[in-house]
Structure 1
Amino acid sequence: MTTPQNTPRQGHCLCGAVTITAKNAASHVDACHCRMCRRWGGGPFVEIDCGTDVLIKGADRISVYHSSEWAERAFCADCGSHLFYRLKDSGEHMVCAGLFDDATDKDASLSLRRQVFIDEKPSYYSFAGDSEMLTGAELFAMIEAGQQP
């Protein structure tokens, strides 16, 4: 699998109180099917890895939930839009794909690259097309081995 080029992206929450600008957003989406992500958003967490070079306007309108020892989840305090999952140590942001203005079905440059926690995915939905699929154990093994997930 080739590494896609990164691109700048800008988006906002439903009410517009929070704007996110990512200078180096990945040109693919990933999906997490873990129980925590599904409970957080009612379905899989579909995200774009935006790295650490992220500018947030309206940060005073963000509520943050520390969901684990290593990560936190953020949402708009005004409209409730889910914004991002952020790794505490690195500051890397995985931003909800639907927030970005250009991340629509018309954006042919985006594709589903990987699905994680496939072992926790319920049977009542599935994504079309081919993507890499990892169980939770396989994902954690990659991270422990120092590989970029």
Structure 2
Amino acid sequence: MSGAQIEGQCLCGEVTARAIMSKPMMRACHCDMCRQHTSSMFMSLGIDKGSLSFDGPVKTYRSSDWAERGFCGTCGSTLFYGTVEDGNRHPSVGLFKDTADADLKLEFFADAAPGYALVGTHRKMTAKETIALFAPEEGDN
């Protein structure tokens, strides 16, 4: 199956993003860091692995031993969440205009959502399940 190329940009337009999306899907994360970084949950877009590229002043911040966050060096727009060990970057849904057909498929830290719930039949992972998936050594502490 060949995916569609999608293109987007940050708020000021200084950073442009391109990716291939074969199976349109979104994910939501309610962890403390995502909420602090975005003022709400972080919504990422499922794209084909290795297809994401950026042009412009992309800056990164290492937010934990196992993750980093990307943002525009000019306007501060959230660009992605990335896992350091494997180099995977999960782009912000807000960068791309043509993603309305992407269904919400997964919520991380669903048990940490502050007083709201996203409707649907998608998978909802607890904090413990999420940590076991992305940082199993931290789950031992």
| Length-normalised TM-score, structure 2 | 0.85
Select 1:14's aligned residue among 11, 16, 19.
Answer: 11
- The residue number in structure 2 matching 1:110 is 102
Relative to structure 1, the CA distance from residue 89 to residue 121 in structure 2 (aligned partners, 3 Å threshold; closer, same or farther) is same
- The residue number in structure 1 matching 2:113 is 121
- The residue number in structure 2 matching 1:147 is none
Q: Percent identity?
A: 35
Runs of 5+ unmatched residues, structure 2: 137-141
- 1:1-149 superposed matches below 5 A: 6-24=3-21, 26-50=23-47, 51-58=49-56, 61-103=57-99, 107=100, 109-123=101-115, 125-143=116-134, 144=136
| 1:25 CA drift (Å) | 6.0
- How far apart in 1 are the matches of 2:109 and 2:23? 20
- How far apart in 1 are the matches of 2:59 and 2:7? 20
- How far apart in 2 are the matches of 1:42 and 1:114? 19
- How far apart in 2 are the matches of 1:71 and 1:36? 10
- The RMSD of aligned alpha carbons is 2.0
Counterpart AA for 1:115: E
C-alpha contact (below 8 Å) 1:65/1:73 kept by paired residues: yes
| 1:127 CA drift (Å) | 1.7
| Length-normalised TM-score, structure 1 | 0.81
Counterpart AA for 2:31: C
| 1:49 CA drift (Å) | 2.9
Deviation track 1:23-63 (CA, whole Å, cap 9, x = no partner) reads 246410000000110001000001013322222111xx122
Runs of 5+ unmatched residues, structure 1: 145-149
C-alpha contact (below 8 Å) 1:70/1:89 kept by paired residues: yes
